Amino acid sequence: MKSLFCIITIYLLLSYGNGEIMRVAGGQPVKEGEYKYFIQLLVAHYVFNNTSPGFVYCGASLIHRNWILTAAQCFKIHRMIPPQMFTDGWVRAYTGNKKVTSIQIHNPAFIFQNVSRAHLHPRYTFKGTGKNPPVEYDVAVAKLAKPFERNVKTIHLPLGANTQLCTVATIIGAGLINSKDFPELVQYSRTRIKTRNQLSIKPPYDYPAIFYSEVVWAEGHPWLSDTGGPVVCNNLGYSVQHGVTSLVRKYNRTVISQYERVKNHIAFIKQHVPLGSSRKKRGHIKKKSKNLEEEVKSTSLQRKSSFICICVNVILYLKGNF
């Protein structure tokens, strides 16, 4: 019995060190009341005969009672959506329901507010070049016409030095989960964060404000139509949004997602959103990581060190009691 426990423990230790055991993916339905900061965003790019809108579905997050954070491409790919889409109420933010809004848009159970305007990052670019369109600075903030009154919660942003990017994050969305099906319920997934150098298939370009994840398509990772959705880490007991889903590529059975790093866009966000100063004081540390590669490596080493200590203690306990 003692040998069996030791073998299992050592296997877990080695697997963890190699980075395989935490390779988790595959969407799971959210439960009622989970992720109250998650917003389902419907953006009409045109309306036919004043009755039939052409909606684009995006994810978003509530970062202030009046403001949401999402991807710039939800509002503009080649040209900005017409202003009347805002004034006529064809841009809507939904919350308070675990069901996917785009499937049941006229369901009275959904709580929504109109979006009155959107501000795109001034350096945002989306230039289609075949299978690999370069997308940069793909972030936007949008103002609600009225704040939500219930069933919502704002998400913290990485405003201080305490907020390191985690190695395994939670993504939330309602995208395609297999070759043809969209889910009826909003999904969440735990996924390993990677730098460009850690990917098995490297994108043809890179810039400092993005990071990635990589999963096997068969694992059911939600991806299509998840643009704008949040990437969330747990920092010192707080849920902190570190990423905005930007671009997703599928290479045969491999899905690589690209995320805008929120920390790099705080200055832009603050230009429009009156973020409270109270969040800045929570959980500061003195030392900042120099870059994304170092930050991911540092967090990974901390996790591995903690796991090694636990395994050593377990082995010593088993040795003395069996």
Q: Which domains does the chain have, with CATH numbers?
A: 28-298 (2.40.10.120)
**Cβ distance 71 to 245 under 8 Å?**
yes
What confidence score (pLDDT) does residue 230 get?
A: 94
Rg (the chain; Cα; Å) = 21
For residue 73, give the 3-state DSSP assignment.
helix
Average the pLDDT over 303-319 and give the result. Answer: 48
Q: H/E element holding 293?
A: helix 292-321
Q: In 10 A of CB 271, how many CB atoms?
A: 11
Q: Give the model confidence (pLDDT) of 244-265 as tens digits.
A: 999 888 787 788 889 999 999 9
Please name which of 134, 256, 263, 127 lies closest in space to residue 207, comparing C-alpha atoms: 134
Token pair in block for residue 18: 């190699």
Contacts of 234 (CB under 8 A, 6+ apart): 166, 240
Cα separation of the two ends of the chain: 7
Q: How many CB atoms lie within 10 A of CB 6?
A: 16
Q: Which residues contact 131 (CB under 8 A, 6 or more apart)?
A: 249
For residues 58 and 249, the model is more confident at 58
HSE value, Cβ hemisphere, 13 Å, CA-based, for 138? 30
The stretch 200-222 carries a mean pLDDT of 77
pLDDT, residue 218, reads 55
The span from the CA of 6 to the CA of 11, in Å, is: 8
Read off the pLDDT of residues 84-103 as tens digits, 9 standing for 90 and up. Answer: 899 988 899 988 666 666 55
Give the distance between the most distant pair of CA atoms in the chain.
78
Position 162 scores a pLDDT of 65
Mean pLDDT calculated for residue range 15-28: 42
* Model pLDDT, residue 239: 92
pLDDT of residue 107: 65
Separation CA 55–CA 85 (nearest Å): 11
Q: Give the three-class secondary structure for 69.
A: strand
Interstrand relation of 125-126 and 28-29 (parallel, antiparallel or unpaired): unpaired
Query: What are the backbone angles phi and psi of residue 60, rounded to the nearest 5°?
Result: -160, 175
**In this predicted structure, what is the pLDDT of residue 32?**
79
- Return mean pLDDT, the chain: 74
* Per-position b or e across 112-151, b if 16+ CB within 10 A of its CB: bbebeebbbbeebebeeeeeeeebbbbbbbbbbeeebeee
Q: What is the pLDDT of residue 197?
A: 92
CA within 13 Å, CB half, 120: 18
pLDDT for position 217: 64
Q: Which of 33-37, 196-200, 291-295 has the highest mean pLDDT?
A: 196-200
Tell me: pLDDT of 219 over 60. no
208 or 220: whose pLDDT is higher? 208
- Is residue 79 scored above 90 in pLDDT? no
Helix (H, G, I), strand (E, B), or coil: what is residue 210? Answer: strand
Q: Could you tell me the pLDDT band of residue 176, with boundaries at 50, 70 and 90?
A: low
Q: What is the DSSP letter of 248?
A: E
Mean pLDDT across the stretch 194-214?
A: 88
CB-CB contact of 299 with 194 (8 Å): no
Strand partners, 193: 213
Give the model's confidence band at 299: pLDDT under 50 very low, under 70 low, under 90 confident, else very high: very low
pLDDT above 70 for 49: no
| DSSP states of 154-189 | PPB---STT-PPPSEEEEEE--B-SSS---SB-EEE
Q: Which residue has the tokens 């959980």?
A: 283
Give 217: exposed, middle or buried? Use CB within 10 Å, 0-12, 13-18, 19+.
middle
Q: With pLDDT > 90 as the criterion, what percentage of the chain qualifies?
A: 34
User: What tens digit of pLDDT does each residue of 114-163 get?
Assistant: 999 999 999 999 876 555 557 899 999 999 999 998 778 999 999 876 67
Out of 59-63, 274-278, 305-309, the most confident range is 59-63
